[in-house]
A and B are shown apart, each in its own frame.
Chain A
Amino acid sequence: MSTSKTFKLDGKTISFNDGDTIMDAALRAGEYIPHLCHNPEFTPHGSCRVCIVDVNGRQVSACTQPAMAGSEVDNASDNIMRQRRELLQMLFVEGNHICPACEKSGACQLQAVAYYTNMLSPHFTHFFPRRTVDASHPDTAIDFDRCILCELCVRASRDVDHKNVFAIDGRGINSHLVVNSPTGKLGDSSFAASDKAAHVCPVGAILPKHTGYDKPIGDRLYDRQPVSIVGDVAAHEQEQEH
């Protein structure tokens, strides 16, 4: 593989390999491009759109766009940051995100990326959807209020656990996560807390039970350093638990 190929990310020269996306190359170079549905362990998805960048005047999602030699990628202009902020605001009003009452607060990637983009309020009118909590499983709970439809749990359960515990049902604004079991409850599915799918949720939707507030607020992953430095919450799963 050749590594002589390069593009510019906000003026910095980034080299890439054949087959790399802009995100792959940036991550390898230690450059941060905000994202939610992307996790380098899984096939790119491109749904949250938070990683939009401007490539030679065209906006694309960095996680799906093949890197192109000689291109100029804008990852930090006011225009791009404003759009990311608006996308995050959309995600906040679409679900029910009551951060002060959420166990994931401080270690939530949605919250952390919102801080990073200087989001100060959800701005748009709240949808206040009626969603439920599924506490049927002995070790893991799902609060659907906080699901942002990133499909990381779907991908993990399908591609790594080979269990297909999760799927998306509905269309459009009615799209929602469903559990594969006779009752639709997690407790009646083949899900286990040791599954990969239990460790990929970027928000407080899939949460371990019995560990509430082990780590005090103020000491959590994004409390001391921004997401641009410490990266994805999923990559810190191990230390979170111990």
Chain B
Amino acid sequence: MSIDTYIDEITAATRNRPDYLLQNLYEIQYQYSYVSDQAIKLLAEKLALSESFIVGVIGFYSFLHTTPRGRFDILISDSITDHMLGSRGLLDTLCNKLGVALGQPRADGRVTVDTTSCTGMCEQGPAMLVNGWTVTRLDQNRIEQIVELIEADTAVEEWPQEFLTVDDNIQRRDILLSDNSNAGDALKALIEQGDEAILQQIESSGLRGRGGAGFRTGMKWRFCKQADADQHYVVCNADEGEPGTFKDRVLLNSYADKVFEGMTLCAGIIGATKGYVYLRAEYRYLRAPLEQVLRKRRETGLLGTDILGKQGFNFDIEIHMGAGAYICGEESSLIESLEGKRGIPRIRPPFPVTHGYLNKPTVVNNVETFMAAALIAVHGANWFGSVGTEESSGTKLLSISGDCERPGIYEYPFGASMQHILQDCGATDAQAVQVAGAAGATLPAAEFNRCIAFEDVATGGSFMVFNQHRDMLDMVRNFAHFFVHESCGFCTPCRVGCSLMKDLVDKVYTGHAGQYDLDEMHKIGELMLKSSHCGLGTTAPNPMLDTLNKFPQIYNERLKHSSYEPSFDLDAALQDARDITGRDDAGAHIGTES
């Protein structure tokens, strides 16, 4: 098929709507391994957008490219937990055996190898993506087999099934994961008891958002319901980009019916007829199974028109793919991305509940929040509220990875202590726990008596364990690099601050920093957290500030004794001059050793 016909087809399928630009780009990327100038031109005509706007959208998302990638486009997950499982060594092996340089397509165009932010396979890593498909449990042996498959030009679809298997690894179940209600139960309750009664149940259950911020779900739904407009929308945030989090992956794999049920319940209450799941591109393998669940729900009257026979209860759900951008988990960036644009966080107010998708009132909730809401409708507010703590009712799914014997998904009532959790997952010599991901809190052993709860240690679910042998600065460095990669670049303090911070952490790591540099980190960190436009910038300095405070030795043991060290190496700066003059004698060097 010619590219003209292909683009005709995909744009026709999305009715030439410019807000489907990102969805079109995603398809083109995986069809051709890049979006060519020709494709950009055709899209610009079809969607009535400027070419530079389209180029800007491509340039924003890590998985979209304007130059060809290899036919096998490999991305090794570069999260700290992948590093701890040896991913860096495997990356070197892979590049060597394939004869490729990082990020550069091989001369024959067959393969590219690069790194990517956490792919959400932390408990079965190291992991990688090949043309968007997830491969787990990499080791030397598996890497060698993968090299053979690539050299034999075996399509990824034909690779051994065990390579592409993703396990749930559920280790502890509580009220959510052990529930055995049936598809449709929550909607039946809604129809029997009415919107207002169910909304009151959600409010009095005390349910708070599971994506991290903990906003009261009932209140959000009520605000949205009250916002006057001709259309309302329900959006499920399945971007799950926080390093170390993978519980939404498991819910979407094994509990999708309950997540969709929660979305439909919300639609019934707020009066929406359309919903979206924003699925991170890293979970490409979940898309087809999710479509299958949606189809089944349509066939059984749980989606579509007159749901469960109730006249005028109309709702359907569409899956939209992300394309590699952590910031798109932030709800207003997510909405921009749903509209096909660069994922830049919006100015707030107004908030999505009044001005969201296409400027209409929109509820955005996390995957886990929708599932909890559905089960509250079935079992009642008391069933939920009787578990947990005063401020944090119910349970929380934790994604546990790192140095422990039994990594995986653990569902705990809120109020569970670190100590208790560490014991359950078999972490016997923990030095620290990183809770709530890269922007979360670093807890040393002295704080293991603290609890998972909004009023103590709040988390979207990431729980990474570090044993006594780990160098915590490796974690800090990994996060500092992560934020440089993921800052959207909109506002000054985060765009520039993330880079300055990363350079300072690297300076400490290479043994070139002095006390002055640590003071600079404090200063830049404080500026970022006070003046950034969105939650990414206001939390990105947390890992540095937290460890400077609680793990000062990882910095101090590497400091030069002088208080001030230059940010560049004078002798290294002379290398160009030495190359030109062909000199390398003592006189062509500036003494740097003291």
A residues near B (Cβ < 8 Å) are: 44, 46-50, 52, 59, 61, 64, 66, 83, 86-87, 90-91, 93-94, 124-125, 127, 149, 164, 166-175, 178-180
Contacts and interface: CB of A to CB of B under 8 A. Distances in A.
B267 interface: no
B582 to A, nearest CB: 26
A90 B497 contact: yes
B50 interface: yes
A52 B52 CA distance: 31
A175 B497 CA distance: 14
Interface of B: 50-53, 55-56, 59-62, 325, 342, 347, 349, 484-493, 495-500, 503, 523-524, 527, 530-533, 567-568
A170 B60 contact: yes
B493 A49 contact: yes
19 contacts: A46-B533, A47-B490, A47-B492, A47-B533, A48-B491, A49-B491, A64-B347, A86-B523, A87-B492, A90-B496, A90-B500, A91-B496, A125-B500, A170-B56, A171-B61, A172-B486, A172-B489, A172-B498, A180-B50
A8 to B, nearest CB: 21
A171 B488 contact: yes
Given A49-B493, A167-B52, A173 B531 contact: no
Contacts of A83: 527, 530-531
A61 B487 CA distance: 19
Contacts, number: 110
B115 to A, nearest CB: 16
B120 to A, nearest CB: 20
A48 B531 contact: no
Contacts of A47: 490-492, 533
B62 to A, nearest CB: 8
Interface on chain A toward B: helix, strand, loop, or mixed SS? Answer: mixed
A169 B85 CA distance: 35
Given A46-B491, A48-B492, A124-B500, 17 more contacts: A46-B533, A47-B490, A49-B531, A49-B532, A64-B347, A83-B530, A87-B492, A90-B493, A90-B500, A167-B52, A167-B55, A168-B342, A169-B60, A170-B56, A171-B60, A174-B59, A180-B52
A66 B349 CA distance: 8
Contacts of A49: 491-493, 531-533
Given A66-B349, A125-B567, A178-B52, A170 B484 contact: no
A93 B490 CA distance: 17
B489 A179 contact: no
Give the residue among B349, B486, B499, B524 with the most A Cβ atoms within 10 A: B499
Interface on chain B toward A: helix, strand, loop, or mixed SS? Answer: helix
A83 B493 CA distance: 10
B495 A172 contact: yes
Contact of A94 (B486, B496, B503, B567): B496
A87 B493 contact: yes
B132 to A, nearest CB: 19
B492 A172 contact: no
A220 B485 CA distance: 40
Nearest to A164: B50
Contact of B489 (A93, A127, A174): A174
Nearest to A93: B496
B533 A171 contact: no
The 8 closest A-B pairs by CB, nearest first: A175-B489, A180-B52, A90-B496, A167-B52, A169-B59, A164-B50, A172-B487, A172-B489
Nearest to A21: B347
Give the residue among A83, A93, A127, A171 with the most B Cβ atoms within 10 A: A171
B487 A170 contact: no
A90 B497 CA distance: 8
A64 B491 CA distance: 13
Nearest to B55: A169
A83 B488 CA distance: 21
Given A49-B531, A87-B531, A172-B485, A167 B56 contact: yes
A164 B493 CA distance: 27
Contacts of B531: 49, 52, 59, 83, 87
Nearest to A59: B530
A3 B61 CA distance: 45
Given A66-B349, A86-B527, A125-B567, A171 B489 contact: yes
A125 B566 CA distance: 9
Contact of A91 (B56, B487, B492, B527): B492
A166 B52 CA distance: 7
Contact of A127 (B325, B347, B499, B530): B499
Nearest to B489: A175
B98 to A, nearest CB: 27
Contacts of B495: 94, 149, 172-173, 175
A44 B347 contact: yes
Nearest to A91: B492
A125 B503 contact: yes
B362 to A, nearest CB: 20
Contact of A167 (B50, B485, B498, B530): B50
Contacts of A164: 50, 52-53
B527 A178 contact: no
A170 B532 CA distance: 19
Contacts of B347: 44, 46, 64
Contacts of A167: 50, 52-53, 55-56
B334 to A, nearest CB: 15
Given A46-B491, A170-B489, A173-B489, A87 B527 contact: yes
A21 B495 CA distance: 25
Contacts of B486: 172
Contacts of B342: 168, 171
Give the residue among B61, B325, B489, B493 with the most A Cβ atoms within 10 A: B489
Contacts of B499: 127, 173
Contacts of A175: 489-490, 495
Contacts of B489: 149, 170-175
